[in-house]
Amino acid sequence: MKTQKMIVLLFLILTVVLAGCSSSNGGSNGSAEGNNQNESNSANPDPTSADEKVTINFMHLWPEGVSTAQNKVVNDIIKQYQDEHPNVTIKLEVLDNEQYKNKLKVLSTSNTLPDVGVTWAAGFLQPYVEGGLFASLDDLLGNGLGDQFVAGTTDAFQVDGSTYGVPLEFNIAPIYYNKEIFANHNLEVPTTYDEFLNVVQTLVDNGVTPIALGNKDRWTGSLWYMYLADRIAGQEVFSNALAGKDTYMQDSLLQAAGEVQNLVNLNAFNKGFNGLSNDEGKADFYNEAAAMYLMGTWELANFTANEEIPQEFKDKVGFFKFPVVSGGKGDANSWVGGPGVGLFVAENSPVKEQAKQFVAYFVEKWGEKAVTDAGVIPATKVDTSSVELADLYVELFNEMNNATSITLYADVQLEAEAAEVHLNQIQALFGNAATPEQFSEAHEQAIKK
């Protein structure tokens, strides 16, 4: 009986201690201050001495299995860096896209972000900056690194004039089309929206799905809406409305939303698109059941290097710019796109300086290897004459250079809550569950909030 009492008491004491600890911690975890408790780092509080062993934690989202090329580029750069800086160890953690975002969120609540990590621009980055979690990278950019970027690509990573992330990717979204299907129906690449509608109508009449779309993911449909808004309302009006500088309740924007529904009612998109993921939706383009597909330039790797895609299909793929709408204010060289992911450095990282140096090194090397080794278009300048690239890449590089404006994806541009509203409304608009008025109204409210 005595042993029982002892065990029970022991248990109780243990709980009181543990519960005491954890609840006191729970109360304080909302604050942005507090020490980084990343154990691997805490041993190196002093960043000044160069010889001291340093561990930099780096979290990214290119798993070895599917993003083999990117993963390899990352590992090569790290290996090179560690060879050149023997005192530095880079510790990696790799997660897939969604898990990565979730983990970053959970880590930020305890202020234990990795020293270096992947971030998205604008709306994603802003709360982290406002909460004081990301370090300003102005010193890096001022130190020569800034000149390496294509002009304007770092803008989306700025908050109040300071830059908090350096972009690794830069994409625009053309409409890819199947040349053979177009030829079979005597169709020309449309340059005006009326011609485009004619293409759609002809394809529908001949039983071919005009456009492959998987709108369960919602950002896919958003691209179509954004282009229509850009072409009809014009880049400036649309940007101002998204930024909340001007009202969203404008006739031109209503017209754009109405045009989306017009396309839906013409049966321009594949069957059941609102219930299909992007992967499922685009399959119709890849197996040549659909003639067109609007997507970012990251898709180029599939039309060029990817060995799983048959060469005969690759040869049929071309692209065109989103056509101009007569009477609309947008021009053909205005694109939807922008920087994809970038790198951040954690503000409270105990190895902040070393982390920044690593980021600078990484961006430079990434810029040299990304296109050739992984088919990723970096945000840094690429000398297209010195590297050998597939025609599609070269043509799109040229388009990027001729771009008059590039409107950042709405779901990236908007802050999280408004972005969710935008995406939900896109699905509702495409599903004819919201009228253009309701659509604009919801945006007006969400952006003003």
Partner 1 sequence: MNKMMSNKWIIALYMLPALLLLALIIYIPIVLTGYYGLNDWNGIKAMTFVGLENYKELIGDKAFWSSALHSLLLALFSCLSLILYLAVSLVLASKIKGANTLRKIYLIPMLLSSVAIAQLWLKIYHPSNGLINIFLEKLGVVNTPEWLANTDIVLFAIFLPILWQYAGFYILIYYAALKGVPKEVEEAATIDGATAWQIAYRIKVPLITEVLKVTLVLAMVGSLKYFDLIYVMTGGGPNGASEVMASYMYRIAFKSFDFGYASAVSFFLLLICLVVTWLIRALTASKEQIQY
Partner 2 sequence: MQGLPLRSTAGSSPIGAAGRAVLYIVLFIIAVVQLFPIYWLLTFSLKSNQQIFSSHPLSFPLQPKWENYEKVWSAGNIGTYFLNSLWITVVATLLTVVIASFATYAITRMNWKLSKLALGMIMVAMMIPVHSTLIPLYSMFNFAHLIDHPLSIIISYIAFNLPITVLIMLGFYYTIPREIEEAAVMDGSSIHRLVLTIIFPMTGTVVATTGIVNMIYNWNEFIFVNTFISSNELKTLTVGVQNFIGQYTTDWGAIGATLMISILPILIAFIFLSDRIVEGLAAGSIKG
Q: Are 361 and 284 in contact (CB under 8 A)?
A: no
Rounded CA separation 327/397 (Å) = 29
Rounded CA separation 131/28 (Å) = 15
The partner in contact with residue 272, picked from partner 2, partner 1, none with C-beta cut-offs of 5 to 8 angstroms by kind, is partner 1
Q: Are 385 and 406 in contact (CB under 8 A)?
A: no
The partner in contact with residue 427, picked from partner 1, partner 2, none with C-beta cut-offs of 5 to 8 angstroms by kind, is partner 1
Nearer to partner 1, 4 or 265 (CB): 4
Nearer to partner 1, 221 or 378 (CB): 221
Q: H helices within 287-323, ranges in order?
A: 300-303, 311-316
Min dist CB 35 to partner 2, Å, is 11
* Furthest-apart CA atoms within the chain: distance in Å: 94
What are the beta bridge partners of residue 339?
170
Binding positions for partner 1, 122-151, rule CB under 8 A:
127-128, 130-131, 133
The partner in contact with residue 303, picked from partner 1, partner 2, none with C-beta cut-offs of 5 to 8 angstroms by kind, is none
The partner in contact with residue 21, picked from partner 1, partner 2, none with C-beta cut-offs of 5 to 8 angstroms by kind, is partner 2
Rounded CA separation 287/178 (Å) = 10
Cα→Cα distances 69→299, 374, 406, Å:
14, 5, 27
The partner in contact with residue 266, picked from partner 1, partner 2, none with C-beta cut-offs of 5 to 8 angstroms by kind, is none
Residue whose entry in the numeric block shows the structure tokens 């029982």: 4
Min dist CB 169 to partner 2, Å, is 9
Compose the 247-286 pattern: x for residues touching partner 1 by CB under 8 A, - for all others.
-----------------------xxxxxxxx--x---x--
Nearer to partner 2, 289 or 421 (CB): 289
Does residue 26 interact with partner 1 by CB under 8 A?
yes
Does residue 15 interact with partner 1 by CB under 8 A?
yes
Which structure tokens are listed for 211?
A: 């456009």
CB atoms closer than 10 angstroms to residue 24: 9
Listed ranges 65-73, 196-204, 213-221, 309-317: which one lies at the site for partner 1 (CB under 8 A): 213-221
Q: Are 248 and 443 in contact (CB under 8 A)?
A: yes
Min dist CB 296 to partner 2, Å, is 8
Min dist CB 427 to partner 1, Å, is 5
The residue within the footprint of partner 1, chosen from 431, 435, 436, 444 (CB under 8 A), is 431
Rounded CA separation 239/236 (Å) = 5
Phi, psi of 345 (to 5 degrees): -120, 135
CA atoms within 13 A on the CB side of 25: 11
Rounded CA separation 393/230 (Å) = 24
CB atoms closer than 10 angstroms to residue 445: 12
Nearer to partner 2, 325 or 336 (CB): 336
Nearer to partner 2, 57 or 239 (CB): 57
Does residue 433 interact with partner 1 by CB under 8 A?
yes
| H/E segment holding residue 292 | strand 290-294
The number of residues in the chain equals 449
In sequence order, the 6+-apart residues with CB closer than 8 A to the CB of 86 are: none
- Give me the residues that bind partner 2 (CB under 8 A), please: 18, 21-22, 25-26, 29, 37, 39, 57, 59, 61-67, 70, 92-93, 95-99, 102-103, 106-107, 109-110, 112, 279-280, 283, 286-287, 289, 296, 298-299, 302, 308-309, 340-341
Min dist CB 291 to partner 1, Å, is 15
Rounded CA separation 250/244 (Å) = 13
Residue numbers of the site for partner 1 (CB under 8 A)? 1, 4-5, 7-8, 11-12, 14-15, 18-19, 22-23, 26, 30-32, 101-102, 105, 108-109, 127-128, 130-131, 133, 215-216, 218, 270-277, 280, 284, 289, 416-417, 419-420, 424, 427-428, 431, 433-434
